[in-house]
C-alpha cells in the first residue's frame, strides 16, 4: 500500500513546510488552501491574517537581530491570496 503524501503544513515556529521544507505556505499549500476556501475567499483572507499574525510573532522571536521585512511577510502569508482571488 503506497504511503499517503505528507500534507504541506507549517512547521512552527520556523514556518517551513513539513513536507517540502520551503517557506510556508509553499505552492502546494497555497493550492490546497485555495481549494479549501474556493467558496469563501474572504474566509481565506481572514484565516491568512491570523497566520500572518502568528508567524510574525514567531519569526521575530526567532530572529530578534534580523527581523523579517513586514512587506515581505505580508506578501508571503497574505498578499498571494489577494492576487489569486482578484479577477
Ligand atoms: Zn510544501
Mean pLDDT of 53-63: 96
Span from the CA of 27 to the centroid of ligand 1 (angstroms)? 7
Span from the CA of 15 to the centroid of ligand 1 (angstroms)? 11
What residues pair up with 17 in beta bridges, in sequence order? 10
What's the pTM? 0.86
Per residue in 17-50, pLDDT tens?
999 999 999 999 999 999 999 999 999 999 999 9
Provide the pLDDT for residue 82. 80
Give yes or no for residue 3 having a pLDDT over 90. no
Span from the CA of 9 to the centroid of ligand 1 (angstroms)? 7
In the numeric block, the cell 523579517 is attached to 68
In the numeric block, the cell 505528507 is attached to 6
Span from the CA of 10 to the centroid of ligand 1 (angstroms)? 8
Span from the CA of 4 to the centroid of ligand 1 (angstroms)? 14
Span from the CA of 58 to the centroid of ligand 1 (angstroms)? 19
Mean pLDDT of 45-74: 95
Amino acid at each position: 500500500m503506497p504511503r499517503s503524501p505528507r500534507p504541506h503544513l507549517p512547521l512552527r515556529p520556523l514556518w517551513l513546510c513539513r513536507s517540502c521544507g520551503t517557506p510556508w505556505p509553499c505552492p502546494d499549500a497555497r493550492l490546497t488552501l485555495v481549494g479549501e476556501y474556493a467558496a469563501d475567499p474572504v474566509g481565506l483572507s481572514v484565516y491568512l491574517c491570523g497566520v500572518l499574525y502568528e508567524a510574525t510573532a514567531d519569526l521575530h522571536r526567532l530572529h530578534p537581530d534580523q527581523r523579517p521585512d513586514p512587506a515581505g511577510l505580508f506578501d508571503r502569508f497574505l498578499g498571494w491570496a489577494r492576487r489569486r482571488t482578484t479577477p
